[in-house]
Amino acid sequence: MRNALRALEHTADAAAVEGLELQIQLVFGLALTASEGFASPSVEAAYARARELCATAGEGAELFYALCGLGSFYTVRADLAAAREIAARMLAVGESADSSDLLVWGHVALGITELYSGVFDSAIAHLKKGIAAYDAERHGHHAFVFGQDAGVIGLSHLAWAAWLRGAPEEALEHKGQAVELAGRLSHPFSHAYALTFAAWLDQFLGNAGECARSADLAIARCRSQGFPLLLGMALVTKGWSVSADSDPAAGLVLVEEGMGIYQRTGAELGMPAMLGVRAVVAAQAGNVGEALEIAESALGLATERGELMFEAELHRLIAELSLARVEMLPLAAQASAREHASESARLAVETARSQGTRMLRLRAALTGLHAAVTPRDKRDNLAQLAELCTEFDSRSPLLELERARELIAQAG
């Protein structure tokens, strides 16, 4: 591809050169994505140049591929502001040109950006619009010419959003739909993608057995096909499942291996969540002080980047780890540590409330009860738990909901 670009320097017809270069840059971007990953600076350069060339070529298929490539680069690099701008451009062009390709990808891309930013109402609305406009017969070929499928990606993220909103049955339904669609497409990357995101959903649900099964399938597919970005993500969930199944030391090795593989691709999106998992596993391995430092660094990174999807959960994790560390501190420092835990739990509840993440609010309220310093704090947290329980389906299998009801019953 580089030789082809150099050969164009000796072509006199400027218009012909631009047309040929546009096609080469688009193919080059796809090839670089496959060999170096979505977050490679070379990928950004190829698609950015293609987008420049589209200024004279018009708003046809070439612009679609350039915007998709750039959008993926900025998203995976956790540059959410730039990713949002690209997604909005897709939607604007899609609406003006009545392009279903751009509308599907624009809604899905904007939904993902909003989800990671913690803007959940907007995220869910765009993901649902993108999925509603998606047609496997019409859009499924994008997976083979662009490397990704909007339907699989949209459903995988909508599953996460449903869990965050406290709808586990809906989350599992979308997870199954993503895996089934990826199988129908017979596209290896999409299949690995759906399995990897399924493993993360299983981790959110606390289901170590299902998480391990999904992770094992994803890891096998990623290793055989050479998908390092997804391999890193899947290894993190595998590490969590191994730790939850009684071997935290081995689990921590897998988590750290996965994070290393992931970051070596240049990817940064989701690092606060991965650090959160690392903190959980480190604590299970007996390194509570280190785990607390990791959780605090994860929250700092999330705040710095505006990647706030799990902001409430990180506050909650800091509260839990602060409580776990209390007995390890000198007596004079214990009261302050408890206050810190109580304040972190309060921030977790308030953040989840403001973002509308009912699942994270329930988890935070449970931690708040655990961290309550005074009898009044305990009463307030019990009242909050009772109120939250009424907002969930009474048949919901959520472990957190069962625990909340047990605590309410014990309190009389």
Burial-class residue 16 by CB neighbours within 10 Å (0-12, 13-18, 19+): exposed
Show me where the domains of the chain are located.
Answer: 1-132, 286-325+338-412
Q: Is domain 1-132 in CATH 3.90.220.20, yes or no? A: no
Task: Please check the confidence at residue 113 and state whether its pLDDT lies above 90.
Answer: yes
Q: How many CA atoms lie within 13 A of 177 on its CB side?
A: 19
Per-residue confidence band for 19, with pLDDT thresholds at 50, 70 and 90: low
Output the six-digit token pair for 64.
């679609």
Task: Please check the confidence at residue 372 and state whether its pLDDT lies above 80.
Answer: yes
The more confident residue out of 227 and 30 is: 227
* Helix then strand then coil, % of the chain, to nearest 5: 80, 0, 20
Task: Please check the confidence at residue 3 and state whether its pLDDT lies above 60.
Answer: no
DSSP H stretches of helix in 165-247: 168-185, 188-204, 208-225, 228-244
Structural contact between residues 153 and 112, judged by C-beta atoms closer than 8 angstroms: yes
Residues 167 and 174: their CA atoms lie apart, in Å, by 11
Mean pLDDT of 172-191: 95
The three-state secondary structure class of 269 is coil
- What pLDDT score was predicted for residue 10? 46
Mean pLDDT of 89-106: 84
Q: What percent of the chain has pLDDT over 90?
A: 64
Task: Please check the confidence at residue 102 and state whether its pLDDT lies above 70.
Answer: yes
- What pLDDT score was predicted for residue 109? 94
Residues 309 and 306: their CA atoms lie apart, in Å, by 9
Angle at 108 between CA 54 and CA 90, to 5 degrees: 20
Per-residue confidence band for 22, with pLDDT thresholds at 50, 70 and 90: confident
Overall fold of domain 286-325+338-412:
1.25.40
Round the CA-based radius of gyration of the chain to a whole number and report it: 23
The more confident residue out of 31 and 298 is: 298
